[in-house]
Amino acid sequence: MTDLLEAPAPAPIPAPVPAHEEEHHGPTGILKWMTSTDHKVIGLSYTVTSVIMLVIGGIFAEIIRVQLSTPNGSLVSLAQYNELFTMHGSVMIYLFAGPFAFGALANIVVPLQIGAPDMAFPRLNAMSYWLYLFGSITMLSGFFTAGGAANFGWVAYAPLSNSINTPGAGADLWIGGLLLTGFSAIFTGVNLCATVFYLRAPGMTMFRMPIFTWNLMVTAILILLAFPVLTAGLVMLYCDRHFGTHIFSVAGGGVPVLWQHIFWFWGHPEVYILALPFFGMVTEIIAVFSRKPVFGYKGMVFATLSIAALSLGVWAHHMFTTGVVLLPFFSIMSLLIAVPTGIKMFNWIGTMWRGEIWFSTAMLMAIGFLITFLVGGLTGIYLASPPLDFFTHDTYFVVAHFHSIVMALVLGGMAGLYYWGPKITGYLLNETIGKIQFWFLFIGTQVFTIPLYILGLEGMPRRVAMYAHDPQWKLLNDVSTLGAILIGVSTVLFVVNIVVSWKKYPAGDNPWDAHTLEWFTTSPPPHHNFYRLPQIRSERPTWDYNHPGHQAAPHGHHPAPDAVPADEVPVP
């Protein structure tokens, strides 16, 4: 242990594979974008595409909310409404939240955080992106077919999704798009696992990896466990629709509930595939902007691993009301998952505790994530109890619960963009507009979800374009629509911020005095990432290098924040 307590080596040591310039005479313009195998270019493509998907899904959401602002709204027809809520869910889950987390930010940040020159399989990585883009185009092109886009809900329950109840090309395009994006996710999972297992820099042991990288590795394992099940299920669904099989239809001896088992066996691990990367993002951000190391690093890692382990045994809590699932098993497992999530929440607060908090936009977004996620997480515990779920299933209570969760993820994702954006572009975003955006997004989220909880408890069902003439229901729906509009304004502000701060505020290598290796290289990083690497002796090598007077202490032995001299705290 004495070696760990040494001050880090003052002189940088050359990296194993120094960044080089030899590829820089390669193609430019659109051909560069199409042929690049550089993880940073691919990550940026993923970021832009997935944010466009967020905007498309958001437009669907705004239309849905405007339709629901009056009991018998006539903005869209009933059939169009079915398409809209189906595609809103599908775009947000399949095309935004997942690819944004394990495609966009993971691609950019994970190789940088472990000191790797690139992802393990750069060409496979490029193919993941193209499969994702073509999958997205396939799914959305349903709107241009005669029958319209898929309209059976984002879960495509049998027998509603069979060829009699949902004929037409839109549903098939939905299945096809998911096949492509599913393979894209599987390849990304393989790539992330291989990168983390084989391309770490010397001294970067597993228990020195940043929490973001840890979470992405666990996410990758979950992708490999879950996504093949969905792909298999989609093939079965397609066979039922077109080849006359009866896997999910009672008429031919099939079992409709089997689709739900297969779908949710993917679908619930998918919830953690979505959430874990964002947990990782806020962990990094809270630690950096509290000027402290992560509190309870190992606890965080084991909490992540236990969430992954438990997540494979909770799928049927979406199916309590089918009456054919083992209620106690799934209830116990779902309640158990609250324990590691609670540990994470405790550690996030512990990281901030007695820290020197810098309320940057990224930090505000991360705190917004904590609060919103807490609301969504606690209502999730109610839903894990079958007697409560029987009464709230398919009501707006469930809608409110998972929108609290996913809006927390949007807050976390925005935190990630404000935090890591300067690393990849070299320029900071405007903090004032960022903070205004935060307040719109945060307040909008609460104004949007809280009325939905009340509506759900009063019995308003999901997936309806019209509802009973009740003045209170109308009022609650109006408030919720107002929240959705505030969220929309925040997204516009984000775009305005990008335009306003375009190449205006140069970031420098390490604008946040951050901890991890990505801040050791230039912004944007050179081809193959690092000209040099510091000695890695703790989980925050860049901070150790920049603060040579301080001990690089092992876990649990960090100096008190009072001991940090004031002149070491950078001025924003």
Partner 1 sequence: MKVEAKILLGLGLFFGLMFAVYWRWSIEDAGGVMMFAGMLLCLLPGSYYYWWSRRMKARPEDNPYATQTQGAGVVGAFPGSSIWPFTMAFGAFFVVLALVFGVWFLVPGLFLMVWAMFGGTAEGRRGGKV
Q: Which is nearer to partner 1, 55 or 124 (CB)?
A: 124
| Cα–Cα distance, 422 to 212 (Å, whole number) | 17
Give the binding range for partner 1 (CB under 8 A) out of 80-88, 195-203, 496-504, 507-515.
195-203
Q: Interaction with partner 1 in 301-330: which residues (CB under 8 A)?
A: 305, 308-309, 312-313, 315-316, 324-326, 329
To the nearest whole angstrom, how small is the minimum distance from the Cβ of residue 404 to partner 1? 27
**Is 359 near partner 1 (CB under 8 A)?**
no
Helical axes 361-383 vs 431-457, angle rounded to 10°: 10
| Closest among 251, 180, 287 to 539, alpha carbons compared | 287
Report in angstroms how near the CB of residue 103 gets to partner 1 at its nearest.
14
Minimum CB–partner distance for residue 197 and partner 1 (Å): 5
Contact between 17 and partner 1 (CB under 8 A)? yes
> Which tokens in the block code for residue 546?
């920049």
Binding of partner 1 at residue 157 (CB under 8 A)?
A: no
- For position 152 contacting partner 1 by CB under 8 A, the verdict is no
Instruction: Choose the stretch contacting partner 1; rule: CB under 8 A; options: 166-174, 276-284, 340-348, 563-571.
Output: 166-174
Nearest CA-CA partner of 295 in 309, 283, 303: 283
Max distance between CA atoms of the chain, in angstroms, equals 75
Give the DSSP per-residue string, 429-489: PPHHHHHHHHHHHHHHHHHHHHHHHHHHHTTPBSS-S-----HHHHHHHHHHHHHHHHHHH
Output 76 or 332, the one with its CB closest to partner 1: 332
3-state secondary structure 199-227: CCCCCCCHHHCCHHHHHHHHHHHHHHHHH
Output 78 or 206, the one with its CB closest to partner 1: 206
Among 5, 13, 378, 468, binds partner 1 (CB under 8 A): 13
Q: Taking the CA of residue 385 as centre, how many other CA atoms within 13 Å lie in the half-sphere pointing to its CB?
A: 7
Distances (CA, A) of 569 to 117, 349, 547: 31, 21, 11
If one asks whether residue 176 binds partner 1 (CB under 8 A), the answer comes out as yes
Q: How far is the CB of 249 from partner 1 (least distance, A)?
A: 16
* DSSP per residue, 123-183: HHHHHHHHHHHHHHHHHHGGGGSTT-S--STTTT-TTTTSTTTS-SHHHHHHHHHHHHHHH
Q: Which residue lies nearer to partner 1 by CB, 305 or 553?
A: 305
Per-residue mark of binding to partner 1, 518-547 (x: CB under 8 A): ----------x---xxxxxx----------
Cβ 326 to partner 1 shortest distance, Å: 4
How many other CB atoms are there within 10 angstroms of residue 545's CB atom?
Answer: 22
The residues in 204-263 that bind partner 1, with binding defined as CB under 8 A, are: 204-208, 221, 224-225, 229, 238, 242, 257-258, 261-262
- CB nearer to partner 1: pick between 329 and 502: 329
| CA–CA dist 572, 558 (Å, integer) | 24
Q: Which is nearer to partner 1, 131 or 273 (CB)?
A: 131
Pick the binder of partner 1 from 56, 84, 120, 384 (CB under 8 A): 120
C-alpha angle with apex 326: 322 to 330, nearest 5 degrees? 100
Comparison of 340 and 376: residue with beta carbon closer to partner 1: 340
Q: Which is nearer to partner 1, 3 or 562 (CB)?
A: 3
CA distance 385 to 184: 35
Comparison of 445 and 529: residue with beta carbon closer to partner 1: 529
Scan for tokens 């409110």, then name that residue: 400
> Judged by CB under 8 A, how many residues of this single chain contact partner 1?
85
